[in-house]
Amino acid sequence: MIWMVILPGGAAAHGTDYRVMEEGHVIAAEFFYSDREPMRYAEVLVFSPENKDVEHQNGRTDKNGRFAFCPEIPGKWLVKVNDGMGHAVRAEIEVDGVSNPRETAKGAAGNNSNAIEATSKWIRIFLGLSLLLNFCLGLYVWKTRSFNI
């Protein structure tokens, strides 16, 4: 801290930037200063294309300056990052298409979905019978034990 008073050149502000790390169901972005130092634990506000006044999500970047969110609709999502010390980033991230993960999982099963449903049906029957047998065994053991008072 004292070196900032002695050497005022070291206290000069630096710029900010970002890059999108992944596109798809999850958008992950990395926020950093112009010297590539991560913006650690900076406040993040995410705004959907439908509402630029109330944030869709908020949080903080991690120790590496990364933050992820799941967009619900296509369009330009606004991400505002502020480190609380005068540095801020305003990023507009274009989201082309958004698919529902449940639909993707259902579609990935393909022709095997009937086999999976049949297998889970037999597992449920087995677990139900096992529960009934364990209950009956518990009653039998409780009824046949001797009480020594």
pLDDT in tens, 138-148: 888 888 887 66
Give per-residue burial for 87-106: e unless 16+ CB within 10 Å, then b. bebebebebeeeeeeeeeee
Q: Domain 9-98 in CATH: superfamily? A: Macroglobulin (MG2) domain (2.60.40.1930)
Q: What is the pLDDT of residue 98?
A: 66
For the whole model, what pTM was predicted?
Answer: 0.54
The angle subtended at Cα 74 by Cα 53 and Cα 107, nearest 5°, is: 135
* Cα gap 66→63, rounded to integer Å: 7
Q: What is the pLDDT of residues 63-120, one digit of tens each?
A: 999 999 989 889 999 999 999 999 999 999 998 876 543 333 333 334 444 554 566 7
Taking the domains of the chain in order of start, what are their residue ranges?
Answer: 9-98, 102-144
Q: What is the pLDDT of residue 7?
A: 45
